[in-house]
Amino acid sequence: MKKHLSYAPTPPMGWNSWDCFGASVREEEVKAHADVMADKLSAYGWEYVVVDIQWSEPEASSTRYNDFYPLNMDEYSRLIPAENRFPSAKDGNGFKPLGDYIHAKGLKFGIHMMRGIPRQAVHQNTALKGTDKRARDIALNNICPWNSDMYGVNVDMPEGQLYYDSLIELYASWGVDFIKVDDIADSKIYHDAHKKEIAAIQKAIQKVGRPMVLSLSPGPAALKNGTFFQDHANMWRLTDDFWDHWDALYHMFDRTAEWAPYVRPGNWPDCDMLPLGHIGIRAVDGGGGDNWTRFTQNEQYLLMSLWTIFGSPLMFGGTLPDIDDFTLKLLTNTSVLQMYHQIVERRQIHREAEWIVWEAQSETDTYYAFFNVSDYKMPIPEELKALVEGNSIEDLWHGTTNLKDEAWMVPSHGVLLGQVND
Amino acid sequence: MKKHLSYAPTPPMGWNSWDCFGASVREEEVKAHADVMADKLSAYGWEYVVVDIQWSEPEASSTRYNDFYPLNMDEYSRLIPAENRFPSAKDGNGFKPLGDYIHAKGLKFGIHMMRGIPRQAVHQNTALKGTDKRARDIALNNICPWNSDMYGVNVDMPEGQLYYDSLIELYASWGVDFIKVDDIADSKIYHDAHKKEIAAIQKAIQKVGRPMVLSLSPGPAALKNGTFFQDHANMWRLTDDFWDHWDALYHMFDRTAEWAPYVRPGNWPDCDMLPLGHIGIRAVDGGGGDNWTRFTQNEQYLLMSLWTIFGSPLMFGGTLPDIDDFTLKLLTNTSVLQMYHQIVERRQIHREAEWIVWEAQSETDTYYAFFNVSDYKMPIPEELKALVEGNSIEDLWHGTTNLKDEAWMVPSHGVLLGQVND
Amino acid sequence: MKKHLSYAPTPPMGWNSWDCFGASVREEEVKAHADVMADKLSAYGWEYVVVDIQWSEPEASSTRYNDFYPLNMDEYSRLIPAENRFPSAKDGNGFKPLGDYIHAKGLKFGIHMMRGIPRQAVHQNTALKGTDKRARDIALNNICPWNSDMYGVNVDMPEGQLYYDSLIELYASWGVDFIKVDDIADSKIYHDAHKKEIAAIQKAIQKVGRPMVLSLSPGPAALKNGTFFQDHANMWRLTDDFWDHWDALYHMFDRTAEWAPYVRPGNWPDCDMLPLGHIGIRAVDGGGGDNWTRFTQNEQYLLMSLWTIFGSPLMFGGTLPDIDDFTLKLLTNTSVLQMYHQIVERRQIHREAEWIVWEAQSETDTYYAFFNVSDYKMPIPEELKALVEGNSIEDLWHGTTNLKDEAWMVPSHGVLLGQVND
Amino acid sequence: MKKHLSYAPTPPMGWNSWDCFGASVREEEVKAHADVMADKLSAYGWEYVVVDIQWSEPEASSTRYNDFYPLNMDEYSRLIPAENRFPSAKDGNGFKPLGDYIHAKGLKFGIHMMRGIPRQAVHQNTALKGTDKRARDIALNNICPWNSDMYGVNVDMPEGQLYYDSLIELYASWGVDFIKVDDIADSKIYHDAHKKEIAAIQKAIQKVGRPMVLSLSPGPAALKNGTFFQDHANMWRLTDDFWDHWDALYHMFDRTAEWAPYVRPGNWPDCDMLPLGHIGIRAVDGGGGDNWTRFTQNEQYLLMSLWTIFGSPLMFGGTLPDIDDFTLKLLTNTSVLQMYHQIVERRQIHREAEWIVWEAQSETDTYYAFFNVSDYKMPIPEELKALVEGNSIEDLWHGTTNLKDEAWMVPSHGVLLGQVND
């Protein structure tokens, strides 16, 4: 049907600044990551470079926000980059120069925005573009509970839609290819998605014409809104922020099993960024600090297998300039990435205390992931091996062929991700 | 993927005894309905004749159950038909003769069963087929809150699976083609589907090999179990019992919008029986009594449009021997039924206070349903007409062609179900 | 125990401006009501004159708030009266002149305040009294969902307590005797009382030493916080805003039955203002408009009987200058008010579909209220009359003696409020 | 008011068989415990000897029930003692001989009953005393989810009340002084108390005239039913079964704080049995097995302080014949028990992460309990010591006098229970 969103025909892959730098990333850091992505990752499909939350806040320094601090704003109540952090944005250039830099590398540029209009605009009652109405007229008395920047916008008024149009126009003029909208897929205090504002933002994107992938945060997105999300966004988060804890990873099995029927070209339910490699440089959420991921190597194989067989976007959260060899290989396994891009249908087919099994199908091949979620290294039980149609599978992470009459051992918190061999 | 259920490639269509006769239908009534179905409806795809709940209770007389009354049971703790109500079942014939009668008409035969094992078997501790274990050993202390016949079965024990196997074998020997299992898709007191017992029943069906459509009641089925239902059943109910009230019909828009992504060959989420025509002969639920449906004609068009564009099974609930012309035409509109059988994708594309719009696609055609859920006759707003790609649509209920520059009027609680004409 | 609050030894009685004037009452209106109260009601115990919400908003005109409009504020981030509405407040007098006027009539003065600190103070980052910290430093990113004036205050910081201290000191300097704090007893979005701020406000009252009754809104207060409310407030609301609908009145039976064990000197769970007489002058909530109460006379007897036998505060919501004779008599029935002031224990002793019965005890007398909540005039059933110990009761509203061998008729939605006669 | 229940003027104290023997206690064990109670505890106020659940089940062996096993029952569908376990019950004596034995020791006799009528009676449709109706006629299709013995009784029918009357008459004829009714104060599946059946049982007790304390299980009882419980029972459980875990003990602070306003003569909200001393002889719930309590000595002082200052009944759960000196002293501290019996008002007055403080008042004395719920031994903070009015308190557990200018140290999970010295 014509209603399918045409952007994002395959799941978006890129890097996002949050897991490393929280709200505080700086222009030179963004460029350094773009450089490495172009050099080492773009050949494998990695392409988006995303500047996360509060790029208009001059004093942002970590994942903790400075409540009620002034933000950099233009004459039409629109937030613009803090020039101390993004020097190229001076003279009203906004993110255009940074976008140009990234595009010149053959990559794509993404930014974050909060649902709504700045509270400072509302209390100062500043102007809007294209109307005599002012900020106070279109603001709603609803907030994000975890960030004090914005009020909701009343899109039942034409001027509310106009405000979102003016934002998306500005972003298009900067060359933005990807927008991550926050406080919108699930509200912790209003207990639903802000659906009217989602529809208004997608409408503004359709109007402006530039292909911009729309990503909605935070989760958990509600399943009952599944078809609404399919019609209005390319990605939406399945859980609250994901960090490097086994509990959070284990919980993702529930959510991916529920959301599998909604995955299709243009729609990629989102398991969140990959907190792998070196993270937490200026991020204090998640409890890890400036350090290497707390996931074991086996947990990392398991994570990547779940994200790829399910079809989640892949947004790397670690640093790129000092990426280690293990992590780099994890992100550039061509067998796994080929599976990832070619799957047309997937689902969880077995679940009990120790084992979870997924099956996926491309036009030509069948794949299985056997996840050992127990605390022990164990062979896959015979009745689960019997689910595989064929005599052997190829282990996509290690390149070995496993015959069905062998014992298929899987480490604790590990995975056997296999392609049916015949 | 191989996991798709192969039975029920198109949505099941038939007649069910509940809306007319509650728990009390008799053999001659079933036959009389089969006769009319063969005569007037089978050419249009109607084929299942389903005997609903408590066919083993000799004194059942309406939709109200006689709590704790004795049921007719065989030596292996399996319920068998009450012979005073089903005379052909005598001499241990069970439903075989009635099944034969229905098959001879070119139709298919369905029966109802409650989840579990009869409580009378448990308290008498009667035998099971194929094991020395007895009824008490496999029973669980859980119940259906609205019917006192059964206890749950512990299918973690091999003997629990064996009991369900013995039931399905018996039904297969009777020639059963369709099984409606009750107290299983949603429990009012345990607040989830009884998933283990669903899996056990489907496993028993696979074992016995006879194509038997599996239908699960009552609703509301939980969306989070969507892929589980897809893997284990052909139909599952979206709401609690549906009767002829506008509120119940209006509520169905919510549930169908949510469940649309799960509809596919083999899987037909179920909006429940059609309480149309003459209903309530010996049924006191729903508040209508022995009378004609309380839905207006417009509401009936709306109902049939929603059920068909969504892809719900169609199980007629009214009497067939005295079916009136309006109702008969409603069930035998070839344009609507062609749409119903050929749709491959459908979804709600618009919803606000007064209008709900669905769009569907077959391999060759596009369909729209514009539902006027307001209390006023109104023209479809221009911005909604603009959703239609093409210059005109054909009104499937009335056969007229509507040009896009005309006013498309829709009555209150009515529908325009249209096929794009060019 | 020493923990009992010493203010409000009997339930507070007075007039509140909300039901008539919403957020918009003016000084001359307050004075006019004080005049009548002194003249006609004070002899019966009525004494508080309470100016409700948004007395600092110059453009307030009804019960609908002007979101994000500027409020009148002093140099220390404290709201002060809008001078266009309260002319005597000019020259920094605040409410002192109005308080003096009311005190001169032998009455007491009450005002409303919202939990928190003005958002305009936070976004302008204005000064606080007695500290170098500023508004932004003590504000929390939490709001009232139905009014856009304030942010919460972080009373874990000494400067947060200091801010509340500075408010209460100001109110004491104005001669305030009664404070109604709003958005504090139940939050519609945070789903609990704001307990820390309640404790901070009571602490500030204890510090300042002036007897000020503390009243908490809105409801429903949660029963699990019952002893917390007893320790920290004199009144707290049992429901959301109460208006003149039978459904709202009927619902109050549930809440009063639950809260009866918490009523005692100093603690008067609050059934909300009395929407009786002429109401809605500039109030559009509740659906009534500028008109006389929609309660029937029988419902008004029932309401007053429930409020008084339960021990709720009595805050009249209607206009006083044009009060009619029926309403005046309702407010000045000496038998009922004597019961009201002398009850030491009360509880609901019977409840079913048609009848609800309360019993209360003073040091010397026993009282019963037989509420007929059915839609029919009916005699009290014999088994309920048998609950009365004694041979007759005196009907407190009508002054007649009812013998137990007579039929005690009670009108639909009416009451027999009786004192045991021997 | 006259509505106060007159039985249980002080909180009941006794021994209950559950924590030691589960469903399986035998007559000789009951007698052995009665002997020791008479000998060592009765002088301190301990008096009830209570036979807990399933005394009619011949094969009961632990806290795990044998689902659907036959129970010993008389001709009127009433359960009677299993004679293999209670030999004196033979020849239709029921519990009369055991009651006589206990009474001869100067003690009181309590038994357990399940809400409802035996399922075996319903499925056999056995007779009832005093009516032609039979078991099936008064049974309801509702169950206890954790025990398979009974169905609910329809007390809207006079014959339903009659059945409960017949039970209580039988128990009175046995000399029963205390009835613990189970599956009635909170249903895990119907999510409320079974209030109609509670009222029916209390009505039956009032009819029979014998003072029988009515104790309702299990919890958590809902606070909204507080006045209902006060009017209809002497004890009701605040939580689900309590065992010897710190988490369960810590949770009791929440519930006791909420319920404190409901404690008064005749009404003793119940913190459940004391799992102290030697427990778990044939009890497998709670995870402890046949062993000594897992509470530390400090936790035991804390537990006894909370139970007594709150006013909970005290039902010892450990063995008496081999009671150790520490436990015996815990149960027979005369200072603590004097406080326990004389308190007229109590409440939690302080609660934060590390410290919880209660205050209580008798006619003559003031008491404080300072509970250290942290993991560290710590001195009571000065601001909490300041709550004590007076210069010193006497430590009731250790008999020492603590001056206010000393450091009052309290061990982790320990308590200072003090009486104000002046």
Give the pLDDT confidence of A341-384 residue by residue, as tens digits: 999 999 999 999 899 999 999 999 999 999 999 999 999 999 99
Q: Do D123 and B68 touch (CB under 8 A)?
A: yes
C-alpha to C-alpha distances, A317 to A20, A26, A65, A108, nearest whole angstrom: 6, 15, 19, 16
**To 5 degrees, how large is the angle CA D355–CA D359–CA D365?**
145
pLDDT reading at A197 higher than 50: yes
pLDDT reading at A3 higher than 70: no
Mutate to test the interface with C, among D5, D256, D258 (most CBs of C within 10 A): D258
- What's at C271, amino acid-wise? C
d(CA A169, CA A205): 8
pLDDT at A421: 85
Contact D411, D372 (CB under 8 A): yes
Contact A219, A186 (CB under 8 A): yes
Q: For chain D, where do the domains classified as CATH 3.20.20.70 start and end?
A: 3-332
pLDDT reading at C240 higher than 80: yes
Contacts of C114 (CB under 8 A, 6+ apart): C53, C144, C147, C149, C150, C181, C182, C183
* CB < 8 Å to B226, chain A: 223, 258, 261
* CB < 8 Å to C359, chain D: 1, 3
Contact D417, D305 (CB under 8 A): yes
pLDDT reading at D4 higher than 90: no
More confident residue, B391 or C169: C169
Using CB atoms, list chains with 3+ pairs below 8 Å to chain A. Answer: B, C
pLDDT at D117: 98
CATH second-level architecture of D348-421?
Sandwich (2.60)
pLDDT at C289: 83
Class in CATH terms, D3-332: alpha beta
Q: A335 CB near a chain C CB, below 8 Å? A: no
Q: Do C119 and A124 touch (CB under 8 A)?
A: no
Q: Which chain C residue has the Cα nearest residue D258?
A: C224
Q: Mean pLDDT across the stretch B335-357?
A: 95
Q: Do C226 and D261 touch (CB under 8 A)?
A: yes
pLDDT at B4: 60
CA atoms within 13 A on the CB side of A76: 17
Structure tokens at B320: 């067939």
Chain segment B114-129, per-residue pLDDT in tens:
999 999 999 999 999 9
Structure tokens at B146: 């609205």
**Whose CA is closest to D173, among D114, D232, D109, D121?**
D109
Chain segment C187-205, per-residue pLDDT in tens:
999 999 999 999 999 999 9
Q: Mean pLDDT across the stretch C229-256?
A: 97
Q: What percent of chain B has pLDDT over 90?
A: 95
Contact A410, A378 (CB under 8 A): yes
**Whose CA is closest to D307, among D380, D379, D349, D255?**
D255
Q: C67 CB near a chain A CB, below 8 Å? A: yes
Q: Mean pLDDT across the stretch D116-126?
A: 98
Chain segment D195-223, per-residue pLDDT in tens:
999 999 999 999 999 999 999 999 999 99
Q: Do D347 and C3 touch (CB under 8 A)?
A: yes
Of B1, B223, B226, the CB nearest to A345: B1
CA distance A223 to chain B (A): 7
CA distance D262 to chain C (A): 7
Q: Which chain B residue has the Cα nearest residue A225?
A: B258
d(CA D140, CA D121): 13
d(CA A344, CA A270): 17
pLDDT reading at B2 higher than 80: no
Structure tokens at B31: 């036959």
**DSSP letter (8 states) at residue B222:** P
pLDDT reading at B297 higher than 90: yes
**Whose CA is closest to C41, among C277, C376, C301, C363?**
C277
Q: Do B226 and A258 touch (CB under 8 A)?
A: yes
* CB < 8 Å to D257, chain C: 227
Contact B323, B279 (CB under 8 A): no
Q: A199 CB near a chain B CB, below 8 Å? A: no
* Lowest-pLDDT choice from D103-117, D209-223, D267-281, D283-297: D283-297
Of C69, C143, C147, the CB nearest to A143: C143
Contact A275, A286 (CB under 8 A): yes
In this prediction, residue D6 has a pLDDT band, given cuts at 50, 70 and 90, of confident
pLDDT at B3: 56
The overall average pLDDT reported for chain A is 96
Kindly calculate the radius of gyration of chain D based on its CA atoms and give it in whole angstroms: 22
CA distance D183 to chain C (A): 23
The overall average pLDDT reported for chain D is 96
Q: D145 CB near a chain B CB, below 8 Å? A: yes
**To 5 degrees, how large is the angle CA A204–CA A207–CA A211?**
90
| Residue C224 CB neighbours (<10 A) | 16
Chain segment C17-76, per-residue pLDDT in tens:
999 999 999 999 999 999 999 999 999 999 999 999 999 999 999 999 999 999 999 999
CA distance C88 to chain D (A): 43
Q: D361 CB near a chain C CB, below 8 Å? A: yes
CA C153 to chain centre: 24
pLDDT reading at B412 higher than 80: yes
d(CA B168, CA B156): 18
Q: D187 CB near a chain B CB, below 8 Å? A: no
pLDDT at B1: 47
* CB < 8 Å to A145, chain C: 141-142
Contact B320, B32 (CB under 8 A): yes
Q: D191 CB near a chain B CB, below 8 Å? A: no
Q: D67 CB near a chain B CB, below 8 Å? A: yes
Q: Mean pLDDT across the stretch B344-361?
A: 95
**Whose CA is closest to C319, among C25, C59, C63, C54?**
C25
d(CA B196, CA B204): 12
The verdict on whether omega for the bond into residue B220 sits within 30 degrees of 0, i.e. cis, is yes
Q: Mean pLDDT across the stretch C135-151?
A: 98
**DSSP letter (8 states) at residue C44:** G
**Whose CA is closest to A126, among A137, A134, A114, A117?**
A134
pLDDT reading at A1 higher than 50: no
Q: Mean pLDDT across the stretch C239-257?
A: 97
Q: Do chains B and C touch (3 or more CB pairs under 8 A)?
A: no
Structure tokens at B91: 């001499």
Q: A296 CB near a chain C CB, below 8 Å? A: no
d(CA A155, CA A165): 11
Q: Do A148 and C141 touch (CB under 8 A)?
A: yes
Q: What percent of chain C has pLDDT over 90?
A: 95
* CB < 8 Å to B359, chain A: 1, 3
Q: B67 CB near a chain D CB, below 8 Å? A: yes
**Whose CA is closest to A306, among A395, A414, A401, A185?**
A414
pLDDT reading at D123 higher than 80: yes
Q: What percent of chain A has pLDDT over 90?
A: 95
Using CB atoms, list chains with 3+ pairs below 8 Å to chain B. Answer: A, D
Q: A365 CB near a chain B CB, below 8 Å? A: no
Query: Token pair 């094969």 is at which residue?
Result: D59
Chain segment D288-308, per-residue pLDDT in tens:
789 999 999 999 999 999 999
Chain segment A8-28, per-residue pLDDT in tens:
999 999 999 999 999 999 999
* CB < 8 Å to C1, chain D: 345, 347, 359, 361, 366
pLDDT reading at D2 higher than 60: no
* Lowest-pLDDT choice from A283-292, B258-267, B313-322, D407-416: A283-292
Contact A98, A38 (CB under 8 A): no
Q: Do chains B and D touch (3 or more CB pairs under 8 A)?
A: yes
d(CA D366, CA B382): 78
d(CA B329, CA D213): 69
Q: Report helix, strand or coil for B10.
A: coil
pTM over 0.80? The answer is yes
Q: For chain B, where do the domains classified as CATH 2.60.40.1180 start and end?
A: 348-421
* Lowest-pLDDT choice from B331-345, C379-393, D90-104, D317-331: C379-393
Alpha-helical (H) ranges within C10-132 are 18-21, 27-36, 96-104, 119-124
* CB < 8 Å to D146, chain B: 141
d(CA B96, CA B103): 10
d(CA A305, CA C296): 69
Chain segment B82-119, per-residue pLDDT in tens:
999 999 999 999 999 999 999 999 999 999 999 999 99
d(CA A303, CA A277): 13
CA distance C2 to chain D (A): 10
> Residue length, chain D?
422
Q: A258 CB near a chain B CB, below 8 Å? A: yes
Query: Token pair 């794009």 is at which residue?
Result: B420
* CB < 8 Å to B146, chain D: 141
Of D262, D348, D359, the CB nearest to C261: D262
Quick one: which H or E segment has residue B181? strand B178-182
CA distance A287 to chain B (A): 31
Strands A366-372 and A414-420, how do they pair? antiparallel
Contacts of B207 (CB under 8 A, 6+ apart): B165, B168
pLDDT reading at C292 higher than 60: yes
Mutate to test the interface with A, among C120, C137, C143, C153 (most CBs of A within 10 A): C143
The overall average pLDDT reported for chain C is 96
The overall average pLDDT reported for chain B is 96
**To 5 degrees, how large is the angle CA B110–CA B116–CA B120?**
110
In this prediction, residue C389 has a pLDDT band, given cuts at 50, 70 and 90, of confident
* CB < 8 Å to A124, chain C: 123
Of B2, B223, B227, the CB nearest to A260: B227
pLDDT at B421: 85
* CB < 8 Å to D1, chain C: 345, 347, 359, 361, 366
CA distance A119 to chain B (A): 29
d(CA B41, CA D267): 69
Contacts of C142 (CB under 8 A, 6+ apart): A145, C151, C152, C190
Contact B346, B362 (CB under 8 A): no
CA distance A148 to chain C (A): 6
CA distance B287 to chain D (A): 23
d(CA B138, CA B150): 12
Q: A120 CB near a chain C CB, below 8 Å? A: yes
